[in-house]
A and B are shown apart, each in its own frame.
Chain A
Amino acid sequence: MIVVQWIAFLLVFASGSGILLYRNWRWIIALLAAQYLGVFLLVQSSWSLSLAAVKLVAGWMICVALGLAHLNRDEEPVVESSWPQGGLFRLVVITLILLVTSVGGRSLAGWLGMETQAAWGGTLLITIGFFQMGLTSQPFRVIVGLLTALAGFEILYAAVESSALVAGLLVLINLGLALSGAYFLINQEEKVKP
């Protein structure tokens, strides 16, 4: 069990860092799908397998919705209007995130009574999501950041709340956010076309 938790944490760390580092939407969506696999593995330490599987299914549905919206638009170079964009800067950011995670995750694990790896995973995703939202003004990347932060929150919240209705409503909200992201992408495209 502990091995699965470590694998899930590493998966979440790798996919979350990748989301922060990569600009190509295909990579981002693939990493998001991997991230939801990690979230599923971390959540199933608190929930039953069948309930935790909801997170995986919903997460992959989110990836499909965002991917389909992207497939229907022309490739555009992503230009950010603010913040340093270099890879080195993002690596420094990831190091900072790891520091925050190592400090915050351990105390959260004690407080919420959950596995340390799951607490680290949740804190890591929340921090990555916040950085992602702060570093970009592109609607797609903001929505991915928001979904990442929400996934982190859901890992932590799963330790304290196991209601199926709350899980269902959170899935609904995740899907709503993904549909909003898809809607923003389509809207952007309509504006670009003459």
Chain B
Amino acid sequence: MSAPVLWIFLPALAGGILLLVRNQKLLSLLAGILCALLAIAALLLPIESPLSIQAWTIKIQSSVNILGRSLVLADPDRAWLVLIFGAAAAWFTPAASIQIARRIVPLGLVITSLLVAALAVEPFLYAALLIETAVLLSVPLLSPPGSRPGKGILRFLIYQTIAMAFILFSGWLLSGMEANPGDLVLVTRAATLLGLGFALLLAVFPFYTWIPLLSAETHPFVAGFILWSFPTVSLFFGLGFLERYAWLREADSLLITLVTAGVVMIFFGGVLAFFQRNLGRMLAYAVMVEIGFSLVSLGLGGEQGYQGFLLLCLPRLISLVLCSLGLSILHQQAPSLDLDDLQGAGRTWVAASAAVVLASFSLAGLPLLASFPPHLAIWEGLARQSLGNVIWVFLGSLGLTMGAVRVLVSLAAAPENTPWGRRETWAQRLFLITGCALLLFLGTIPSWMSAFWFQLPALFEHLGQ
């Protein structure tokens, strides 16, 4: 048994087989169990070390060769495998409760395995091609049969394809740099192309326009899944570059660029979220703010910066799943996700509305919620570097918080005699309440989050120094 077979080929095969299953609940259950088992396997099974269970001895090989190239999942990679498959379980399990399992589960599994393959492939330049393949597979997910393709999906395709081209070219330049490390012209060209590639991949300002468009025209749960999967994997892909190339890691200008790009994204994302009247677009701007925080965190450098980056992942996942689930439930009852159409929905859809508001507050980094501890760590680090940046970040966060307050006011603004109700199904309520409880739990006992990254020092050997 080898690690790539277990964590890449098996989920892809399962995705293909699950295309044949028509029962939504069965689909969600099977995919949820598979992904949870893969996450547990990543947590417990060492790679390249023998594991004895009574009379049995198992050793998981780290690599598989395909056409002269390798897929390598080493022991330190188990940390992000836990995150990715845990996240997949979190997305697929509640899908049946909003009748979207047939759309999201089979393709979602294949996309997840392609994204894992992108992080595992050697030479790394193939990762750009695998990410692009995952982007193409997400087309039927984002634009289901019978729906006219919107501008968002077209821009998503355009930006991700151009990003692939830039990263492929920078890969060639970087391999040339290994032979001539002192060539400054080559360094500048490689850094510029790589920067442009990642700016497009991560929707960094001003290439962010596909995020709100896509979020407004797609089912909120699908949008949430895409907005979680692609930026997260792209960020880990970017960390791989930093880990691999010392000249990139040690360049002061890179850290300044990352902080500046992050601050700009937080400010514009927060301010634009405040002016939104559509909750789908507001979720998109919240994701933009989150990507901004990740970039700022990486830009802070050192162990604190990388820890902050990793600590952001889990709260972001829970907030996005919860917010997307709540919005999907509200969307089933309302003609659109515009605030005007959802006015007073909080009285009759208490759990869904509470989940949307709580997740929005968590994404804004309010105290006692899951995103607060990592946001606080980033604020502290940023304050040590530049007070000016802190003000911009504060304004962005304030914009997102005020946007969430406006959502709360709209959802609660029902006519005086409207009776309270609980119209969600028991399954929906179970997922929503669990998500809300997790946000509060991680917000009040944040040490559990750092326990999650049990292999941090080994995961990025050079970055945390």
Give B125's nearest chain A residue, CB to CB.
Answer: A166
Instruction: Please measure, in the bound complex, the distance between the C-alpha atom of A172 and the C-alpha atom of B77, giving whole angstroms.
Output: 28
Which A169-194 residues sit within 8 Å CB-CB of chain B?
169-170, 172-173, 176-177, 179-180, 183-184, 187-188, 190-191
- Asked if A187 meets B148 with Cβ closer than 8 Å, knowing A146-B161, A176-B136, A177-B161, the reply is yes
Tally of contact residues, B, Cβ under 8 A: 29
- Asked if A190 meets B161 with Cβ closer than 8 Å, knowing A169-B126, A180-B139, the reply is no
Chain A's nearest CB lies how many Å from the CB of B43? 32
Instruction: Assess the A184–B149 pair: CB atoms within 8 A.
Output: yes
Give A175's nearest chain B residue, CB to CB.
Answer: B136
Instruction: Please measure, in the bound complex, the distance between the C-alpha atom of A137 and the C-alpha atom of B154, giving whole angstroms.
Output: 9
Instruction: Assess the B158–A133 pair: CB atoms within 8 A.
Output: yes
Contact stretch, chosen from A20-28, A37-45, A95-103, A149-157: A149-157
Query: In this assembly, does A160 line the interface, its C-beta being within 8 Å of a C-beta of chain B?
Result: yes
Mask of A59-95 contacts with B, CB within 8 angstroms, 1/0: 0000000000000000000000000000000000000
- Asked if A150 meets B161 with Cβ closer than 8 Å, knowing A180-B136, A190-B145, the reply is yes
Instruction: Assess the A173–B147 pair: CB atoms within 8 A.
Output: no
Which B336-390 residues sit within 8 Å CB-CB of chain A?
none
Instruction: Please measure, in the bound complex, the distance between the C-alpha atom of A137 and the C-alpha atom of B130, giving whole angstroms.
Output: 27
Interface of A is mostly: helix
Query: In this assembly, does B165 line the interface, its C-beta being within 8 Å of a C-beta of chain A?
Result: yes
Q: Which residues of A contact B158 (CB under 8 A)?
A: 133, 142, 146
Tally of contact residues, A, Cβ under 8 A: 29
Query: In this assembly, does A139 line the interface, its C-beta being within 8 Å of a C-beta of chain B?
Result: yes
Give B154's nearest chain A residue, CB to CB.
Answer: A142
Interface of B is mostly: helix
Chain B's nearest CB lies how many Å from the CB of A114? 13
Chain A's nearest CB lies how many Å from the CB of B174? 12
- Asked if A173 meets B68 with Cβ closer than 8 Å, knowing A146-B161, A188-B148, the reply is no
Which B143-172 residues sit within 8 Å CB-CB of chain A?
143, 145-149, 151, 154, 157-158, 161-162, 164-165, 168-169, 172
Instruction: Please measure, in the bound complex, the distance between the C-alpha atom of A157 and the C-alpha atom of B171, giving whole angstroms.
Output: 11
- Asked if A137 meets B151 with Cβ closer than 8 Å, knowing A146-B157, A153-B165, A190-B146, the reply is yes
Instruction: Assess the B149–A188 pair: CB atoms within 8 A.
Output: yes
Chain A's nearest CB lies how many Å from the CB of B417? 41
- Asked if A177 meets B148 with Cβ closer than 8 Å, knowing A149-B162, A150-B165, A166-B129, the reply is no
Instruction: Please measure, in the bound complex, the distance between the C-alpha atom of A188 and the C-alpha atom of B149, giving whole angstroms.
Output: 7
Question: Which of B69, B126, B133, B168 touches A176 (beta carbons < 8 Å)?
Answer: B133
Instruction: Assess the A157–B168 pair: CB atoms within 8 A.
Output: yes
Instruction: Assess the B157–A165 pair: CB atoms within 8 A.
Output: no
Instruction: Please measure, in the bound complex, the distance between the C-alpha atom of A139 and the C-alpha atom of B67, giving whole angstroms.
Output: 35
Question: Which of B69, B145, B162, B164 touches A173 (beta carbons < 8 Å)?
Answer: B164
Chain B's nearest CB lies how many Å from the CB of A82? 11
The 3 closest A-B pairs by CB, nearest first: A176-B136, A169-B129, A184-B149
